[in-house]
């Protein structure tokens, strides 16, 4: 597993397994976007100050690069070298910091751009999920998106049908649909409401 942590720290340490370092503007962008996003959300489910990106599977590489398009001016660039019939074999994940309960409505908002499209598609191709990391590997939602060279925020919502412990659920982007290069910017995962909240509204 390869790990990339976006943080405000000034220390930079690198090895074959992990990279941790300063990403100018990226953590600040998360803070700035939070006020606009959390206005409609009950509780953040991922860290807003330090975003840890993990790469799982083979055939991928990554770097932090500058971006004129992305909020905050920097992105995680993930390069997928080959396709796999099981797209989940190569994916990017971000851990969550709070449990999700059955009946919770969860919202994902993430900035994505295709730096290099899949040949023949003229877009990227990936799945956005909030998914359990152990059996039965169920998810709260799984949404296929086709990002273009014009980066934008993608928003997906779903209602949990079971409990998900924080240490057993992640944001995941399944990426092995073909050779492509994808930019990831700020990401927000929020608990928008619970079953009790919706019953109260009714």
Q: What is the CATH number of the domain that holds 91?
A: 2.60.120.260
Domain range spanning residue 105?
A: 2-201
Give percent of the chain with pLDDT exceeding 90.
73
Lowest mean pLDDT among 26-30, 56-60, 67-71, 187-191: 26-30
| β strands within the chain, DSSP E | 2-7, 13-14, 18-22, 43-44, 51-56, 60-66, 74-80, 91-95, 105-116, 126-132, 139-145, 152-159, 169-174, 180-193
Looking at residue 10, its pLDDT comes to: 24
What's the CA gap between 81 and 77, in Å, rounded? 13
DSSP summary character for residue 39 = G
Q: State how many domains the chain has.
A: 1
Residue reference for tokens 């994808």: 182
What's the CA gap between 81 and 108, in Å, rounded? 26
Q: Read off the pLDDT of residues 134-169 as tens digits, 9 standing for 90 and up.
A: 999 999 999 999 999 999 999 999 999 999 999 999
Looking at residue 202, its pLDDT comes to: 61
| pTM summary value | 0.81
Radius of gyration of the chain (CA): 16
Looking at residue 4, its pLDDT comes to: 52
Looking at residue 42, its pLDDT comes to: 73
Does residue 36 register a pLDDT over 60? no
- Record the tokens describing residue 56, joined without a space: 């799982």
Q: Please tell me whether residue 199 adopts helix, strand or coil conformation.
A: helix
């Amino acid at each position: 597993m390869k790990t990339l942590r976006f943080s405000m720290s000034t220390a930079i340490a690198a090895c074959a397994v992990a990279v941790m370092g300063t990403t100018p503007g990226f953590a600040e962008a998360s803070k700035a976007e939070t006020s606009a996003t959390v206005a409609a959300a009950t509780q953040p489910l991922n860290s807003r100050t330090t975003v840890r990106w993990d790469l799982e599977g083979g055939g991928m590489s990554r770097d932090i690069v500058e971006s004129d398009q992305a909020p905050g001016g920097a992105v995680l660039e993930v390069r997928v070298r080959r396709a796999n019939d099981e797209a989940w074999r190569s994916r990017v994940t971000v851990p969550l910091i709070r449990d999700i309960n059955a009946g919770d409505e969860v919202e994902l908002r993430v900035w994505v751009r295709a730096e290099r499209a899949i040949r023949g598609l003229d877009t990227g191709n990936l799945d956005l999920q909030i998914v359990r990391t152990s059996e039965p590997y169920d998810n709260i939602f799984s949404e296929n998106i086709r990002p273009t060279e014009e980066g934008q925020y993608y928003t997906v919502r779903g209602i949990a049908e079971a409990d998900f412990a924080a240490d057993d659920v992640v944001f995941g982007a399944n990426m092995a649909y073909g050779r492509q290069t994808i930019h990831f910017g700020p990401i927000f995962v929020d608990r928008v409401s619970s079953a009790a909240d919706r019953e109260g509204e009714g």
